[in-house]
Structure 1
Amino acid sequence: MKLKNQIVGLPVLSITEVTTLGKIENLLINPNSGSVDYLIIEPKQWYMERRLISFKDVVSIGQDALTTETGSNLTNVTSVPAAIDLLNKSVEVVGSKVITQKGRISGSIDEISIDEETGKIVACSWIPGNNKKKPGLFPASLVITFGKGMLVVEEDFEAAVVENIEETESETNKADSAEDMDEALSGNKDPLNLFEEKQKQYLIGRTVTANILSDDGEIIAEQDQKITKEILDKAVEADKFVELTLNNRE
């Protein structure tokens, strides 16, 4: 997984031409699928038209650069109607207010985590609207609607928020969580990996809402089946963990 701020600003490199094509200026999010469809490339000169690259043409998103097979994968924004439509919808997610399905405003989003293979938004970093609750990450599967300046989420989304240190844990577990967070902040442990570990704990016992299959057709989990650690391990091994997080309920 990659944070938005780990992607924006990266140079785009062509593998074939071995040249830099520009830098990522922003992400174009499809509110219907909750995924990044395109990446906008800043122009080399201020008066030039912006170009974009489809997420499906991204080979890899590394620490220092984003790669694509060839420079011909970059296209002028105005030549792609679907991209213009997304620009008009102007769904940023980061900076959006959070509102529950019953109309309760609850804080805002200050970052998103993206699956670098599919472009799917996996998690949202939530800032509560008061000091009574702690900020944290919650699964994007709890988002009902990605809107312009606002996210509509399930009413009980806060129960799935992975906090830095959970107040409801025992003293021993609190110490473990504090140690985990210290490691994450010091760079010894990736905060996204920490979220993934917590997300696995959250998923155990929930119900699968669609059949999850491996790429070769093997059944990982069946609809209406309860999620177990064994299912989670299979999903991770088959690279279907994100799909599992997007298809479950209580």
Structure 2
Amino acid sequence: MRLLSRTRGLPVITREEAEQLGRVEDLTVDPRTRSVVCVRLSGAPKHATTIAWDLVEGVGQDAVVVRSAASAGGGRHDFPTHHEILGKRLLTEHGTAHGTVKDIAFDPTTGHIQTLYTALGDISGDHLLGVGEYAVVVRGV
């Protein structure tokens, strides 16, 4: 399990060239698959600013490792719209407020969202229905 808050800011490096591509600015979550679909980079002037999750080889305490600079520039580009998750209001599908999202835990291998940590308790990632500009929506809790 890995926390989003502890993944932000990590350097993203290539395994083949040992080159730093940038730092993790954020992760984009697809609510349909309930998983991380891409890594958004900051400070990546020479490289892609978004890397598909399937190109990530590992997420450790000190860095996120991708295959190579060449592979990081390729891959799919039809990612869902990125919306901030941390600090966002959390609502049930019926509009009931359930605090704010304090953090999310995800599987560092698959990217599957395991838990949403909120001000009012933890919610299984399997309950995630939507991530929008205004709120994160979950199946009734």
TM-score (norm 2): 0.85
Look up the SS of the partner of 1:74 in the other structure: helix
Question: Is 1:117 matched with 2:115?
Answer: no
User: 1:138 and 1:50, CA in 2 relative to 1: closer, same or farther beyond 3 A?
Assistant: same
1:98 aligns with 2:90: yes
Shift of 1:94: 1.7
Tell whether 2:31 aligns with 1:35.
no
Counterpart pick for 1:152 among 118, 137, 141: 137
Offset, 1:151 = 2.3
Distance 2:2 2:39 in 1: 14
The alignment-based identity, stated in percent, is 24
1:75 to 73, 76, 79: 73
Give how far 1:144 is off: 3.1
Secondary structure at the counterpart of residue 73 of structure 2: strand
Which residue identity is paired with 2:4?
K
Shifted more, 9-18 versus 92-101: the winner is: 92-101
CA contact (8 A) 2:92 2:138 kept: yes
Cα distance change, pair 109–95 in 1 and its aligned pair in 2 (3 A): same
Change (3 A) 1:90 1:53: closer
RMSD: 2.3
Deviations 1:3-53 (A, max 9, x none): 0112111111211112222211111221221211110121345xx775221
Q: CA deviation at 1:80?
A: 5.4
Higher RCO, Cα 8 Å, sep 6+: 2
Please identify the structure whose Cα radius of gyration is greater. 1
Query: How many residues are aligned here?
Result: 141
Cα offset, 1:142, TM superposition: 2.1
Measured in 1, the distance between the counterparts of 2:51 and 2:6 equals 17
**Structure 1 16/50 Cα, relative in aligned 2: closer, same or farther at 3 Å?**
closer
Q: TM-score, normalised to structure 1's length?
A: 0.51
Distance of 1:49 and 1:69 partners within structure 2: 14
Between the aligned partners of 1:15 and 1:101, the Cα distance in structure 2 is 42
Pairs within 5 Å for 1:219-238: none
Greater helix percent: which structure? 1
C-alpha deviations, 1:183-242, integer Å up to 9, x for none?
Answer: xxxxxxxxxxxxxxxxxxxxxxxxxxxxxxxxxxxxxxxxxxxxxxxxxxxxxxxxxxxx
